[in-house]
Structure 1
Amino acid sequence: MSRTPLRLDPSIRKYLLPLLKNDGFAGSGRTFRRIDHDAIHLVNVQGFSYGGRLAINLAVHPLDLPDMAGGPPSPKTIAEHQCEFRERLTEDDSGRVWEHDATSAGMDSAMRDAAAVYATHGRRFFDQFRGASSVLKTFDFDSFMVREPDLSRYCFGSWVRVAYVLARLRLVEGRIEEAKKFAHAALADATPQFAGFEELQRITNLAWQVD
């Protein structure tokens, strides 16, 4: 008789969850969320259908913007793929995958190491998006033009997407001149097929009317 495969959840509860709870995350299973200032932060443990591997996905989404599906972002149910900014937990520029042998000891070892990486690099990722000093609040147009910091790595590698998000945020915040600059920058490289093309045009037109 075949044996039911062991699950990652006990290892998550043992090694990763205590760190997440300490950082203000809540949830169960494999997805955990917190609200920080006006953004949702998310941590998701990803297993693989063929087993023996795990990864940890990190994500941030501004509460003031629709999620990637176009609906209002839900602090309790938003999924990683619905967030604007995403990163796979890693110590360098390539997302890391932890391998294990599908035993309790093997999964414990992988999750223990992943939790240690979260404690340094995962927290560092989220620190960029925390409080009034969040990069979503402070990232100015001059910094955008010199690509510092490199937010595009969290937005599908697309600087058009970064400019689009920042234009929408600045508009919500009433920072019309900045919204106009980011919208113009996005439109300089966006094609009409870009999902936010018409919205960028509206932002630009609205900004000119308000000047």
Structure 2
Amino acid sequence: MSNKTLELLQKRRTQYALGKDLPLSADMVEGLIKAAIRHAPSSFNSQSSRAVILFGAESEKAWGLIEAELRKIVPAEDFGPTEAKMKGFAAGAGTVLFYEDEDTIKGLQEQFPLYADAFPRFSQHSAGMAQLAVWTALAEEGIGASLQHYNPVADAALAEAFDVPASWTLVAQMPFGGHAGEIGDKTFMEDEARFRTHGK
């Protein structure tokens, strides 16, 4: 059976070897990212996901800030692998900083008190769907990416550098760029350990 959605999901893979060259213009990539987040589902149509989209030197700056914060907590003698990762992410063409807006979540909690405890969890669901939507859209255009979580280590530094509203909480970073290397095969656990089907 041919299924376009499954084909795209299979195409979306983690690419650590990133380059500066993109198959689309920066404006087109920006539009793609915005559209993917705009059309991603969110609970109660909250549209709580936010993004800071960085290209070129601004993306490199972000990874420099993250590296500087990591140097404060990772022993110098152990920092080599972390430094290599930072340089790899900075080698890409850009980065998406994914945020969730706490003011939106608080507003929903006040509007729907019965679900108040659940809205932070719903927000994380929305964040994950936004990330997958962007990643898959980039993959469809031949753009490599990976999903990183260097938060809350560098939250304050990034917020100051890129004028991020105080109500936005950083949830993930996605460096992206041209494919500068091969992607290894993906392995899967056995279906029997992961799925249950009843009533078929």
**TM-score normalized by structure 2?**
0.24
Task: Find the structure with the greater CA-based Rg.
Answer: 1
Structure number with the higher helix fraction is 2
* Structure with more contact order per residue of length (Cα contacts < 8 Å, sep ≥ 6): 2
**TM-score normalized by structure 1?**
0.23
